[in-house]
């Protein structure tokens, strides 16, 4: 969930994954790519698994256009969406749930229970931010975008899971067995990631994001622990919450870059040195546009999430 302040960072860059492409990452596994468009909040990746009885979708995006691409893919394939797994409660990953429910009424949504606290905490505060910004803005396009955010939040229970993931376990979804894992207090209070042993595709949600880690609601140290856990899995392809699918070697690069970012932020090195360090460590994962976008984002996150009073992150770390 990105704040209004964070939206300004996106507004200054045109950074758009190819919104027309659906990428096949393994036999029976496709990705509707995440998008960042100047002036509005992003969508996360949607990962579509072909199962015996239909499709299983990991994350549904935020904007109508993104979710419609998922729905159109299912209809073109002649298959129903039988299950949705939400990696976490950020709006760019759950915002399409109501549209998926309307298009496929028999769908079941699986997620952690963390959305409930978010609705009464972070998202409630964000809603107040939006209302205040709308009242003061004279930019009709921006106001319309913010009203779209309000509409998602006001979807209420349509965003919630039908089945709560309370622990890591094997689940049969649409006739296909998945390993469904729950990670506590990493990016959010409850992050779900999905591993398909048959294709060896791991859908990581925002436990992996590019061009930088999105630290808005994160416990940085627990996030690092989560990356260590992912590294132990027998995956061939990892699909992040934002950014292109990764090989094991590329994920190792990301994990190394993340660890070094935390070390730098905890040191007396300058913020610019930490930003340059990330850009160097993650260079193999970043396009020129990614690198350009990463700089103001890291400038924001180092001050707002990494170099803060420990009391600020205590709750985020489940303490």
| Cα gap 67→56, rounded to integer Å | 14
316: exposed, middle or buried (Cβ count in 10 Å: 0-12, 13-18, 19+)? buried
Spatial CA neighbour of 145 closest among 95, 103, 215: 95
Q: Is the pLDDT of residue 261 over 50?
A: yes
Phi, psi dihedrals of residue 36, rounded to the nearest 5°:
-125, 120
Q: Is the pLDDT of residue 11 over 80?
A: no
Query: Rounded to the nearest 5 degrees, what angle is found at the Cα of 301, between the Cα atoms of 297 and 303?
Result: 125
Q: Is the pLDDT of residue 13 over 50?
A: no
Of 38 and 205, more confident = 205
Q: Taking residues 92-107, what's their average pLDDT?
A: 98
Phi, psi dihedrals of residue 46, rounded to the nearest 5°:
-110, 125
Q: Taking residues 24-40, what's their average pLDDT?
A: 86
| Cα gap 46→92, rounded to integer Å | 10
Query: Poorest-confidence range of 7-11, 267-271, 278-282?
Result: 7-11
Q: Which residues pair with 22 in a beta bridge?
A: 32
Cβ atoms < 10 Å from Cβ of 289: 14
| Cα gap 59→111, rounded to integer Å | 10
Q: Which residues pair with 30 in a beta bridge?
A: 24, 48
Query: Rounded to the nearest 5 degrees, what angle is found at the Cα of 294, between the Cα atoms of 292 and 296?
Result: 90
pLDDT of residue 37: 67
- Percent of the chain at pLDDT > 70 equals 92
pLDDT of residue 5: 43
Q: What is the b/e burial string over 83-120, where b = at least 16 CB atoms within 10 angstroms of the residue's CB? A: bbbbbbbbbbbbbbbbbbbebbeebbbbbbbbbeebbe
Q: Taking residues 280-298, what's their average pLDDT?
A: 95
Domains of the chain: 4-314 (3.60.15.10)
Quickly tell me which residue has 């042993």 as its tokens. 197
pLDDT of residue 164: 98
Strand 81-85 to 108-111 pairing: parallel
Phi, psi dihedrals of residue 76, rounded to the nearest 5°:
-65, -35
pLDDT of residue 20: 53
pTM to 2 decimal places: 0.93
- Token pair listed for 312: 């600020």
Q: Taking residues 206-233, what's their average pLDDT?
A: 97
Q: Is the pLDDT of residue 2 over 80?
A: no
| Cα gap 116→190, rounded to integer Å | 11
Q: Taking residues 221-244, what's their average pLDDT?
A: 97
| Cα gap 10→185, rounded to integer Å | 26
Q: What DSSP line would sit under the chain, residue for residue?
A: ---HHHHHHHHT------TT-EEEEETTEEEE--B--TTS--B--EEEEEETTEEEEE---SSHHHHHHHHHHHHHHT--EEEEE-S-S-HHHHTTHHHHHHH-TT-EEEE-THHHHHHHTHHHHHHHHHHHHHHH---HHHHHHHHHHHHHHTTGGGGS-SEE--S-EEEEETTEEEEEEEEESSSSSEEEEEEETTTTEEEEEEEEESSS---TT--HHHHHHHHHHHHTS--SEEEEEES--B-HHHHHHHHHHHHHHHHHHTSS--HHHHHHHHHHHTGGG--HHHHHHHHHHHHHHIIIIISS-HHHHHTTTT-
């Amino acid at each position: 969930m990105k704040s209004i302040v964070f939206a300004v960072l996106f507004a200054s860059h045109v950074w758009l994954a190819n919104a027309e492409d659906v990428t096949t990452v393994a036999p029976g596994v496709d990705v509707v790519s995440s998008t960042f468009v100047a002036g509005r909040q992003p969508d996360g990746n949607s990962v579509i698994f072909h199962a015996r009885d239909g499709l299983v979708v990991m994350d549904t995006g935020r904007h109508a256009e993104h979710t419609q691409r998922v729905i159109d893919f299912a209809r073109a394939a002649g298959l129903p969406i039988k299950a949705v797994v939400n990696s976490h409660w950020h709006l760019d990953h759950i915002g399409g749930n109501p549209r998926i429910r309307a298009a496929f009424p028999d769908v079941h949504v699986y997620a952690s229970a963390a959305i409930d606290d978010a609705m009464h905490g972070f998202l409630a505060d964000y809603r107040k931010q939006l209302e205040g910004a709308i009242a003061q803005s004279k930019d009709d396009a921006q106001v319309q975008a913010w009203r779209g955010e309000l509409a998602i939040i006001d979807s209420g229970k349509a965003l919630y899971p039908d089945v709560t993931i309370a622990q890591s376990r094997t689940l049969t979804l649409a006739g296909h067995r998945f390993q469904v894992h729950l990670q506590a207090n990493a990016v959010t209070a409850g992050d779900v990631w999905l591993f398909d042993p048959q294709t060896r595709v791991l859908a990581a949600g925002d436990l992996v994001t590019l061009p930088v880690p999105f630290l808005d609601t994160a416990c940085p140290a627990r996030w690092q622990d989560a990356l260590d856990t992912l590294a132990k899995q027998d995956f061939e392809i990892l699909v992040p919450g934002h950014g292109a699918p990764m090989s094991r070697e590329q994920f190792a690069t990301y994990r190394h870059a993340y660890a070094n970012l935390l070390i730098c932020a905890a040191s007396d090195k300058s913020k610019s040195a930490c930003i340059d360090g990330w850009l160097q460590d993650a260079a193999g994962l970043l396009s020129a546009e990614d690198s350009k976008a990463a700089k103001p984002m890291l400038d924001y996150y180092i001050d707002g999430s990494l170099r803060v009073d420990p009391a600020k992150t205590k709750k985020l770390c489940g303490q």
